[in-house]
Structure 1
Amino acid sequence: MKGYSVGKPSVKFRKENKIQTVQHSLAIEGNELTGEQITAILEKKRVLGPKKQIMEVQNALQVYDSLSSFNPNQEKHLLKAHKLLMQGLVKNAGKYRTGQVGILKGTHVSHVAPPAKQVPHLMGELFKFLKEDRETSAIIKACVFHYELEFIHPFEDGNGRMGRLWQQLLLMQHSPVFEYISTETLIHEKQMQYYSVLEKSDKAGDSTAFLEFSLEIILIALKHFKSAQRPQKANSTDRIHFALEHFRENSFSRKKYLELFPEISTATASRDLALAVKENKVTITGEKAQATYKATTPRLK
């Protein structure tokens, strides 16, 4: 989402987001540890719980602490991340599966993955798509990769975790704002729908249903993030500062300003903008409702 910008979130916000991401991504896979327990593990405190679930959290925290070291366009980095994520949990962590796998839904098999001998070729083609495709938007490519990884099911275990992780990495490559957004929380809330659209896409031989679901999740997550960053009970100075961080070098109207702060009146918005002009924080072009505003100096990217 190019151009989407807000003030840099606090260290506390980033920590809370990481904990939420780990908790909900693992909860989708059956891990029952709470946010408080995951916080304790992050802080190196002793936690009582199933050994496997504690190890899943420790591994996931290690991976999310290392996000900046992974290049999402490199297949070897996918294998490295899987090794970190699944170390001590599966025998072949960091390696593609060598046997046949299927996905059970209740008592029936909802998806039979491609034969193991095809996995290296299929994953190679998927990374070729990431590197060479110039027509598909970055956000769509991230969602496509997520779906195709789930379809190929290249690993013995941890495919869901890796699909969601790699989607986030690809989104972060597109815009840094995604470092602070947890789509896993929303996917967990809509877990049955998540599995349903995967199955629907598998049966149709088309990823459309999954892409529509993923894009909806991303949009909702962005809106939640924007709302969390918007100053509450702010004064004129706070609102102006937030607006300039949001619009940066782009021009904006009073209507657009009001969309950022729906709780204020049109008159209040006009007073804010008049103050910004008076303090030389913005320049104005045009008059009254037709006026447009722009920061007097470029904002840092």
Structure 2
Amino acid sequence: MKPPYEISNTILSLVAAISEKIGEVNAAHLYKPPTELRKKNRIKTIQSSLEIEGNTLSESQITDLLNNKRIIASLKDIIEVKNAIAVYSELEKLNVLKVKSLLEAHRILMKDLIKDAGKLRDKAVGIVKGDKITHMAPPAHLVPTLLEDLFQYLKNDEDLLLIKSCVFHYEFEFIHPFSDGNGRMGRLWQTLILKKHAPVFEFLPIESLIKERQTQYYGALSKSDSIGKSTPFIEFMLEVIKDALEDLLQNQNISFTNIERIETFKLNIGTATFSRQDYLRVFKNISAPTASRDLKEAVDNGILIKSGDKRNTTYSFK
């Protein structure tokens, strides 16, 4: 059964704006940002998503943990961060369309934090704000079926992945399938879905904008609950995605290393044979000698295979 929502004019407008920005990202070769930016954005993602849940560690402390340095902080906060680092490093192994992968991700994310990490809840749960219950999740015995239906929607519905990622996020929070960790899991799984739409989303710190707009985030969830449709939440999340892409484009004065140019070009060309001119057509801001040095170093390092000579020289990736 398809979750209830409407494709509003606001949603259509935001989808168009996001598609346009993804085109700009691709033209600027930012679909896989340079290594340092990827690392920085991953740290920002982890810090923001966990701060929403009450974690107190800063980006610099998370960086230290990534570099295996000791920090002074509560054990719970340190475990949360180490678990998040572990699960984000496993994104390539997770199948976004499989409940089994969802359970495995939750097991890693909540290891040593709750007893039932990686298992669906077997008790009733509600979300409490102050002294009020703001959301009563569906009964535990319905969770497996509701989750399976949600994954079938994700797999089979013909709506755009952009929209389905937002719907999934909302419905996941509504179902509240785990005893704890639902917020961070919902945000993680939306990232995975968006990654299928465009590679740039793997390292786009959407969570940092959600953290900045935390009141609006919970407001959009609550409004969707009250009307029985996820439309307000879809609109909110698409706005966040659009703004995150805009931030990336505005801060794109990043210089690629020769290795990063070669990695980026491989994403463009795949297994096809190419010339230095083909390389220069992609990287219009570098000189011919720089292109030659990039290609020679890649050949010397065993990344490229060189054929022919002088003007007839061609290359291909091993």
Which residues in structure 2 correspond to 1:1-301 (within 5 Å)? 1=19, 3=23, 4-5=25-26, 6-7=28-29, 8-134=32-158, 136-230=159-253
Q: Check whether the contact 1:113–1:152 (CA below 8 A) recurs between aligned residues.
A: yes
Cα deviation, residue 49, structure 1: 0.5
Taking structure 1 as the reference length, what is the TM-score of the superposition?
A: 0.76
**What amino acid maps onto 2:204 in structure 1?**
I
Q: Describe the superposition over 1:265-288 as per-residue Cα deviations: whole angstroms up to 9, x where unpaired.
A: xxxxxxxxxx99xx9xxxxxxxxx
Q: Check whether the contact 2:33–2:200 (CA below 8 A) recurs between aligned residues.
A: no
Local SS of the residue matching 1:58: helix
Q: Check whether the contact 2:87–2:108 (CA below 8 A) recurs between aligned residues.
A: yes
Q: Describe the superposition over 1:200-255 as per-residue Cα deviations: whole angstroms up to 9, x where unpaired.
A: 111111111111100000000000011122469xxxxxxxx9xxx9xx9xxxxxxx
Q: Check whether the contact 1:150–1:160 (CA below 8 A) recurs between aligned residues.
A: yes
Instruction: Count residues with an aligned counterpart.
Output: 239
Bigger CA drift: 112-121 or 178-187? 178-187
Any gaps of 5 or more consecutive residues in structure 1? 233-240, 249-274, 280-301
The 2-side partners of 1:102 and 1:192 are apart by: 19
The 2-side partners of 1:195 and 1:9 are apart by: 30
Taking structure 2 as the reference length, what is the TM-score of the superposition?
A: 0.72
The 2-side partners of 1:208 and 1:9 are apart by: 31
Local SS of the residue matching 1:110: strand
Cα deviation, residue 180, structure 1: 2.2
What's the Cα RMSD here? 2.2
Cα deviation, residue 92, structure 1: 0.4
- Structure 1 ranges of 4+ moved more than 3 A: 1-4
Q: Check whether the contact 1:21–1:182 (CA below 8 A) recurs between aligned residues.
A: yes
The 2-side partners of 1:18 and 1:127 are apart by: 26
Any gaps of 5 or more consecutive residues in structure 2? 1-18, 256-260, 269-283, 289-318
Q: What is the aligned partner in structure 2 of residue 254 from structure 1?
A: none
The 2-side partners of 1:69 and 1:174 are apart by: 17
**What amino acid maps onto 1:164 in structure 2?**
R
**How many percent of aligned residue pairs carry the same amino acid?**
50
The 1-side partners of 2:254 and 2:42 are apart by: 22
Q: Describe the superposition over 1:105-155 as per-residue Cα deviations: whole angstroms up to 9, x where unpaired.
A: 111000000000000000000000011112x11100001000000000000
